[in-house]
Amino acid sequence: MSKSAAEWKELGNQAFSAKDFAKAIERYSEAIKIDASNHVFFSNRSASYAGIGKWEKSAEDAKETIRLDPTFLKGYYRLATAQIELKEFDAAAATIRQGLGVEANNPQLLKQQRMVQQLKKSAEAAEKRKQTMPVGTMDPSTSSELNELQVQYMQMNRELETIKVDRARVDRELKLAEFTKTDLGELPETSACYRSVGKMFLRQSREEIVTHLDKNTEEASKMETTLKQKAEYLEKKMKSQRQNIEELVTSSE
């Protein structure tokens, strides 16, 4: 029996959560073959292409996402991310402005906008130095340091985005466990209960399943705490990096 587009999407989500981006791309592509009008399929595939650094492909899918649904903010965010990685700062700035036209106070887009402004400023300053300095008199050390800071900043931004995806997955797991425990509590004590184990279903008592859910919840809560700490550390480090870039650009003007 052939799978539906929704089923392929769910399989893609599973591969994406496991960071198997190549497999996620294949599965989202299958969903798109069945239904090429669903903007979410293209958005998810765009994120998967980003996961393996195929920024041109990521940008193409993000553009299609926006075309299919101009109100879907993730489309603008994914397109701007790809354009930043491709160092297409003017295009990224335009994409972000379009997204802010849909939701003016979107925190992710506003954060991207600040990053693009800083990266664009540093790129323009580097170009200005090239044009104003005689051949052979450009300071290669400053230019190299600036480029290294930019690369590090974008790497940290990618890592932060990965953490956000992981936190969203953990949050879904915690909510699902809570909903399941609530449903179990409403069942009669004599009800037959089954727990999914891979592709099999294992019959267990209600108490055994609740114990399993409690253990998973505890582990997921610890993971959420760890991911939150990592995100906060990266955000502080990125703020410091932005200041370093700005100081370097200012000092070399």
- CATH code, domain with 66: 1.25.40.10
51 lies in the same domain as 102: yes
Rounded to the nearest integer, the mean pLDDT of the chain is 84
Tell me the C-alpha distance between 67 and 61, whole Å: 10
Name the amino acid, one letter, at 13: N
154 lies in the same domain as 60: no
- The answer for 100, left when phi > 0, alpha when psi is -120 to 50, beta otherwise, is alpha
Please state, as a whole number, how many other Cβ atoms lie within 10 Å of the Cβ of residue 192: 9
Tell me the C-alpha distance between 65 and 70, whole Å: 8
Higher pLDDT, 181 or 171: 171
47 lies in the same domain as 95: yes
Please state, as a whole number, how many other Cβ atoms lie within 10 Å of the Cβ of residue 26: 16
Residue 157 belongs to a domain: yes
Specify the pTM: 0.60
Final residue belonging to a domain, choices 123, 152, 168: 123
117 lies in the same domain as 141: no
148 lies in the same domain as 231: yes
Residue 129 belongs to a domain: no
Tell me the C-alpha distance between 78 and 60, whole Å: 10
Provide the number of structural domains found in the chain.
Answer: 2
Final residue belonging to a domain, choices 123, 158, 173: 123
Q: Give the mean model confidence (pLDDT) for residues 139-153.
A: 72
Q: Is the separation of the CB atoms in 58 and 81 below 8 Å?
A: yes
Scanning the structure block, which residue is given the tokens 């055994």? 208
Structure confidence at residue 241 (pLDDT): 74
The pair of structure tokens assigned to 138 is 């450009």
52 lies in the same domain as 89: yes
10 lies in the same domain as 109: yes
Start-to-end CA distance of the chain, whole Å, equals 65
Residue 130 belongs to a domain: no
**Which residues, 6+ apart, have CB-to-CB distance to 105 below 8 Å?**
none
91 lies in the same domain as 182: no
pLDDT tens, position by position, 15-57 = 998 889 999 999 999 999 999 999 999 999 999 999 998 999 9
87 lies in the same domain as 28: yes
Final residue belonging to a domain, choices 91, 123, 155: 123
147 lies in the same domain as 244: yes
Tell me the C-alpha distance between 38 and 122, whole Å: 38
Q: Is the separation of the CB atoms in 39 and 68 below 8 Å?
A: yes
Phi, psi (degrees; rounded to nearest 5) at 143: -60, -40
pLDDT at 137 over 70: no
Structure confidence at residue 220 (pLDDT): 83
- CATH code, domain with 200: 1.10.287.370
Q: Which domain holds residue 224?
A: 135-251
Tell me the C-alpha distance between 62 and 78, whole Å: 6
Q: Rounded to the nearest 5 degrees, what angle is found at the Cα of 74, between the Cα atoms of 71 and 77?
A: 110
16 lies in the same domain as 118: yes
The residues with which 204 forms a beta bridge, in sequence order, are 193
Residue environment code for 111-120, b if the CB has 16+ CB neighbours within 10 A, otherwise e: bbbebbebbb
Please state, as a whole number, how many other Cβ atoms lie within 10 Å of the Cβ of residue 41: 28
108 lies in the same domain as 151: no
Three-state SS for 200? strand
Residue 5 — very low, low, confident or very high, per pLDDT cuts 50/70/90?
very high
